[in-house]
Amino acid sequence: MVKMMERNLDGRELLASTLVWSAVALVTATFCWLLGDIIWHALSHITWTFLTTPPRNAGREGGIGSILISTTLILGVCLGVSVPIGLGTAVLLAEFTTDDSLFGRLTRRSLDVLSGVPSIVFGLFGNAFFCKTLGLGFSILSGGLTLACMVLPILIRSTEEGFRAVPTGYRLSAAALGLSRTTTLVHLLLPAAVPGLLVGLVLGMGRAIAETAALIFTSGYVDRMPESLLDSGRALSIHIFDLSMNVPGGDANAYASALVLVVLLLAINGTASWLAEHWLRRRIVTI
Amino acid sequence: MISLGSNTSSRWQTDQLLLWLLRGVAVIAGTIVLLIVTFLAMEAFPVLRHVGITRFFTDPSWHPAEGLYNLTPMLWGTLFATVGSVLIATPLGILSAVFCHYYAPPAIARPYRRLIELLAGIPSVVYGFWGLVVLVPLIGAIRPPGPSLLAGIVILTIMILPTIALMANASLTNVPQQYVRGAAALGLSRWATIRGVVFPAAKSGLFTGVILGTGRAIGETMAILMVCGNVVQTPDSLFSPIRTLTANIALEMAYALGDHRAALFVSGLVLMAMIAALVAAADWISHGRVHG
């Protein structure tokens, strides 16, 4: 009897182990398949000329030069707007409001909802607000501003973490020395919270660069070299989408663009987790 | 921070200035959600006024050019794709996290976690592209046409799995070590410990992960648009093409005018309502009301 129960138990253990290992094997295999397929098809296409020349013949030939410029400009607008707003909000939430104050609670709740809003809804909003109401039209500026709304929650959360990681002793000593809170913030807290800010910045950058749906109706499809921020410009992710869906024979260049995008994102996310793991921890420990 | 937090009075004028500046900035950040809802509602208002809400569910079909606005096929599309992918991704994601904590040798656990993080960082358009060139032809060979609900479910599964796995991983890390040691002292086997001790202790974190994954699946646009075929119909099998709410917006926004455009904003409002409900559910769970 006891022996039978034991065997039964062993059987269940074995089944669980098999399930866990096969789930892991499945996930790993899918990942290798996906990445392997892209690298295999794309590697021979990536040359310096591909990265620097503008697309020709709807993207079937030529490179992604102007696309990379547009992507950089959109990203620049996005970060230029979201970093000051995000930093200010994070400082207010972490340093100037208590956790149970109404204002703090409302702001946090609203940011939680904002972080869950689907990207296509950001696209609708951007189209209605920035393109139509503010009259910016389909432009890099509209696209960047829409993305800025989108990355704010990530930026704020991570920066806030940075501030919360600064020991309370700093604030108390500064207060004891009679420093104003502005001085404390600028000279003590801000430098100590830089790692958190950087992690947020890098994560936000990753989210912005990966975005497609929010940009289709805000920054548009035009693949020429943009001449100003009010020109329409095609982001890299939209380029991949357009080549694979709307351009027959665009697969080769779509593969190459996809590899460029994936490598960019892996570099960005790698930097973020490296910063979070090493610098953030060491900073906090050594200070 | 704790002791100074509520004290906003200061003898320095710069402090007052700074505080008002920060408040202004935070108000901007906090009101974006309101701004989004307001603009969606404003754009959706014309069609809601002279068509009404019920016709979005009772019209014979979705033919906006002829004034027919039935959203139900798209709602079913979103629902089937989301439920299917969540059902597959939840066990895979949670087992992945269990693997990292209790099964894998340390030399494998770290790289595997890295791999999940990498998966989380790959953009949706790349998943969609891979689905379009690899998965869709494969499914088409088994049973034409290829672009289908099944393709959508598979792609969504791969996309939300990292979210669920990373959240599960975090909540397993928070399970107190004494629980596991206590279970070991009682002579419980590994799986019995995980099922009977670890899962109940990590329950709310696991649920939150699933809810976040669900939110991501509902909102996903590009990948699903690229692999699902986008035929407006209620799917009758795994192999029939579908169109989701999000894909519908992305496809038709480019040329929609007047009431048609307004109807697309209505579907945006519907999506917002779904997300708000999910956030409320996550909030309810994380406040510890799901135990036992």
CATH superfamily assigned to domain B75-243:
MetI-like (1.10.3720.10)
What is the pTM for the complete model shown? 0.88
DSSP string covering A23-89, please? HHHHHHHHHHHHHHHHHHHHGGG--HHHHHSPEEGGGTEE-SHHHHHHHHHHHHHHHHHHHHHHHHH
Given a cut of 70, whether residue A280 has pLDDT beyond it is: no
Q: How confident is the model at residue A281, as a pLDDT?
A: 59
Q: How confident is the model at residue B86, as a pLDDT?
A: 96
Given a cut of 70, whether residue A284 has pLDDT beyond it is: no
Given a cut of 80, whether residue A276 has pLDDT beyond it is: no
- Mean pLDDT, residues A62-84 taken together: 92
Q: Which CATH architecture has domain A49-286?
A: Orthogonal Bundle (1.10)
- Mean pLDDT, residues A90-100 taken together: 86
Please judge whether A24 and B99 are an interchain contact, meaning their C-beta atoms are less than 8 angstroms apart. Answer: yes
Please judge whether A120 and B250 are an interchain contact, meaning their C-beta atoms are less than 8 angstroms apart. Answer: yes
- Chain B residues within an 8 Å CB radius of A180: 10, 12, 14-15
Given a cut of 80, whether residue B232 has pLDDT beyond it is: yes
- Residue B96 carries which side chain, given as an amino acid letter? S
Please judge whether B42 and A261 are an interchain contact, meaning their C-beta atoms are less than 8 angstroms apart. Answer: no
- Chain B residues within an 8 Å CB radius of A168: 1-3
Question: If 0-12 CB within 10 Å is exposed, 13-18 middle and 19+ buried, where does residue B55 land?
Answer: middle
- Chain B residues within an 8 Å CB radius of A149: 32, 36
pLDDT averaged over every residue in chain B:
88
Asked if residue B160 lies in contact with residue B224, where contact means CB atoms within 8 angstroms, the answer is no
Q: How confident is the model at residue A285, as a pLDDT?
A: 34
Strand, helix or coil for residue B107? helix
Nearest CA in chain B to A98: B5
Q: Of A133, A168, A244, which has the smallest distance from its Cβ to B129's Cβ?
A: A244
Tokens, residue B287: 């406040």
Q: pLDDT class for B289, splitting at 50, 70, 90?
A: low
Domain map (residue ranges) of chain B: 75-243
How crowded is residue A227: how many other Cβ atoms within 10 Å of its Cβ? 8
Asked if residue A154 lies in contact with residue A115, where contact means CB atoms within 8 angstroms, the answer is yes
Contacting residues for A90 by C-beta, under 8 A, at least 6 apart: A155, A156, A159, A160, A162, A163, A197
Q: What is the pLDDT of residues B199-228, one digit of tens each?
A: 999 988 899 899 989 999 999 999 999 999
Strand, helix or coil for residue B62? strand
Q: Of B30, B129, B253, which has the smallest distance from its Cβ to A240's Cβ?
A: B129
Distance of CA A134 to the CA centre of its chain: 26
ipTM above 0.90, yes or no: no
Q: How confident is the model at residue A5, as a pLDDT?
A: 53
Contacting residues for B98 by C-beta, under 8 A, at least 6 apart: A20, B168, B172, B194, B198
Tell me which residue of A216, A157, A166 sits closest to A188, measured CA to CA. A166
- Chain B residues within an 8 Å CB radius of A84: 25
Given a cut of 90, whether residue A25 has pLDDT beyond it is: yes
CA distance B204 to chain A (A): 18
Which pairing describes strands A61-62 and A55-56: parallel, antiparallel, or unpaired?
Answer: antiparallel
CA distance A49 to chain B (A): 22
Interface test with B, best of A17, A37, A113 (most B CBs within 10 A): A113
Nearest CA in chain B to A181: B15
Q: How confident is the model at residue A27, as a pLDDT?
A: 93
Given a cut of 70, whether residue B291 has pLDDT beyond it is: no
Q: What is the pLDDT of residues A31-55, one digit of tens each?
A: 999 999 999 998 888 888 888 888 8
- Chain A residues within an 8 Å CB radius of B117: 269, 273
- Chain B residues within an 8 Å CB radius of A24: 95-96, 99, 104, 112
Please judge whether A20 and B28 are an interchain contact, meaning their C-beta atoms are less than 8 angstroms apart. Answer: no
Angle CA B31–B36–B40, to nearest 5: 150
Interface test with B, best of A2, A12, A13, A24 (most B CBs within 10 A): A24
Contacting residues for A228 by C-beta, under 8 A, at least 6 apart: none
Report which of residues A8 and B241 the model is more confident about: B241
Q: Of B12, B39, B98, which has the smallest distance from its Cβ to A125's Cβ?
A: B39
Given a cut of 50, whether residue B135 has pLDDT beyond it is: yes
Please judge whether B130 and A38 are an interchain contact, meaning their C-beta atoms are less than 8 angstroms apart. Answer: yes
How crowded is residue A38: how many other Cβ atoms within 10 Å of its Cβ? 24
Please judge whether A152 and B29 are an interchain contact, meaning their C-beta atoms are less than 8 angstroms apart. Answer: yes
Please judge whether A123 and B215 are an interchain contact, meaning their C-beta atoms are less than 8 angstroms apart. Answer: no
